[in-house]
Chains A and B, each alone.
Chain A
Amino acid sequence: MKEAIQERISVLIVDDEIEFASTLAERLQMRGYDATAVYCAADAFESIKKSSPDVMLLDLIMPETNGMEALIKVKSFAPEVFVVLLTGNPNIVKELEGISLDNVSFIIKPVDISKVTAIIDGAKREMTNQRKWVES
């Protein structure tokens, strides 16, 4: 039981679409993830400073601070967080595919819960492997 708790993956969802973000958080919680939702970049920064999540699902287009600006800022103080960019624009994905970003992935909205969990699990595995490699 203790092991299961230790392995629980923490996920922070950042999206100004409140219903979308809170529902996705609830569905991830049902699947055993430690998921929380916040609805703007400023709240995401606060949350990460308090407790760094394993994975952050970050909407690209938000008012005030957009997803790309938020990504750069988060990577400056918490580079260990794996960021999954959420976008409804397939063209942005094409542009992002051309840029090499460490520990960053993307997913097109509307999302499939099975795809989201696969990306989160893959991200966690990758981060664990990287940590082991650094420690060895």
Chain B
Amino acid sequence: MENETLIRSNQRKFIGKILALYAHDLNNQLGTIKEASGLMEDIMEFNKSKNNRLREELAKPLQSIYSRVGEAAFLTNTLSTFGHEMKGETSSLNINETVGVLLALVRRMAAQRRIELVADFQTDIPAVTADPVMLQFLLFCLMEEQIIRLKPKGRLVFGTARSGKVLSVMIHAEGEEEAMDEKRMFPEGMAQLIAKTYGYNLTANGRNSSIIFNL
């Protein structure tokens, strides 16, 4: 069992490393695409009088490239952060950033079910000591519970708030529900198991879940 735990912990580092490397490689590709399209624009800009019409015609597709590169860079930077978080374990972290990384990475999953993910973070909250990826895993399990229940056009609000010496991370589901006919990715009760095993103070009932950190 000890060996298995050791292997599991290093397997996590391995996955983190692969993700970080992959994100880095993608970022380099994006960097080159952005520079190459920027150079195209420069060539036209610096020869204005000769290529005025061409410049006008290419303005829209170039803007589209810049916009998509910006979006993709945001995703690869988020993936890179997630990969680096996977390599480490417990650390002092900003809960808003940790939840924000999760929201960015799962937005495709929510969009496929037409569920809107909303961040409602209190600013200037203190850092807490936790394992960011385990916390994200716990939030993901809670989110999955809600997503498979909600009908399209529902909303999942992720909130953070500080009250005295307590910091809370909350998920609140809004919208109509439907029968859960979809296969779960994780077995039922996984969130509770994570919370129990890793000492998270979790309350989950119906549409509301919260994780409490004592400051």
Contacts and interface: CB of A to CB of B under 8 A. Distances in A.
Interface of A: 17, 19-20, 23-24, 26-27, 30, 61, 88-91, 108-111, 113
Interface stretch (B35-43, B108-116, B118-126, B136-144): B35-43
A108 B74 CA distance: 11
Interface of B: 20, 23-24, 27-28, 30-36, 38-39, 42, 46, 69, 73, 76-77, 80-81, 84
Given A23-B35, A27-B39, A61-B24, A110 B30 contact: yes
Nearest to A26: B39
- Ranked nearest first, the 4 interchain pairs of A and B with the lowest CB-CB distance are A88-B27, A23-B35, A110-B31, A110-B34
A133 B201 CA distance: 57
Given A27-B39, A27-B42, A88-B24, A111 B80 contact: no
B24 to A, nearest CB: 5
A88 B23 contact: yes
B84 A89 contact: yes
Nearest to A17: B28
A107 B33 CA distance: 17
Given A20-B35, A90-B77, 20 more contacts: A17-B32, A19-B36, A23-B35, A23-B36, A23-B38, A24-B35, A27-B42, A88-B76, A88-B80, A89-B20, A90-B81, A91-B80, A91-B81, A108-B77, A109-B73, A110-B27, A110-B31, A110-B33, A110-B34, A111-B35
